Amino acid sequence: MPQIGLGTWLSQPGEVEQAVEHAIKAGYKHIDGAKIYHNHNEVGAAIKKCIPSVIKREDLWVTSKLWNNAHKPENVQPACEQSLKELGLDYLDLYLIHWPVPFQFVSWEKKDLVPKDEAGKLLLDRETSLVDTWKAMIELKKTGLVKSIGVSNFTKEMLEAIIKATGVVPSVNQIEAHPLLPQDDLVEYCNQNKINITAYSPLGNNLTGQTKIVDYPQVREIAQKTGSDPAQVLIAWGVKRGYSVIPKSVTPSRIESNFKQVVLSDEDYESINQLVKDGKTTRFNVPITYDPSWPINLFDEEVEKEAPLRAIF
Binding positions for ligand NAP, 231-270, rule CB under 6 A: 231, 246-251, 254, 257-258
Binding mask 278-297 for ligand NAP (x = CB under 6 A): -------x------------
Q: What is the DSSP string of the chain?
A: --SB-EE-TTPPTTTHHHHHHHHHHHT--EEE--GGGT-HHHHHHHHHHHTTTT--GGG-EEEEEE-GGG-SHHHHHHHHHHHHHHHT-S-BSEEEE--S-PBPP--SSGGGSS-B-TTS-B-B-SS--HHHHHHHHHHHHHHTSBS-EEEES--HHHHHHHHHHHS---SEEEEE-BTTB--HHHHHHHHHTTPEEEEESTT-TT-SSSPPGGG-HHHHHHHHHHTS-HHHHHHHHHHHTT-EE--B---HHHHHHHHS-----HHHHHHHHTTSBTTB---S--GGGSSS---EESS--GGGTT-SEEPP-
Q: Which of 200, 259, 294, 313 binds ligand NAP (CB under 6 A)?
A: 200
The answer to whether residue 30 forms part of the interface with ligand NAP (CB under 6 A) is no
State in angstroms the smallest separation of the CB of 119 from ligand NAP.
Answer: 26
Number of residues that bind ligand NAP (CB under 6 A): 29
State in angstroms the smallest separation of the CB of 196 from ligand NAP.
Answer: 14
User: Has 28 been annotated as catalytic?
Assistant: no
Nearest-CB residue for ligand NAP: 7
The answer to whether residue 228 forms part of the interface with ligand NAP (CB under 6 A) is no
Binding positions for ligand NAP, 81-110, rule CB under 6 A: 98
State in angstroms the smallest separation of the CB of 186 from ligand NAP.
Answer: 14
Rule CB under 6 A: which residues touch ligand NAP?
7-10, 32, 98, 152-153, 174, 200-206, 214, 229, 231, 246-251, 254, 257-258, 285
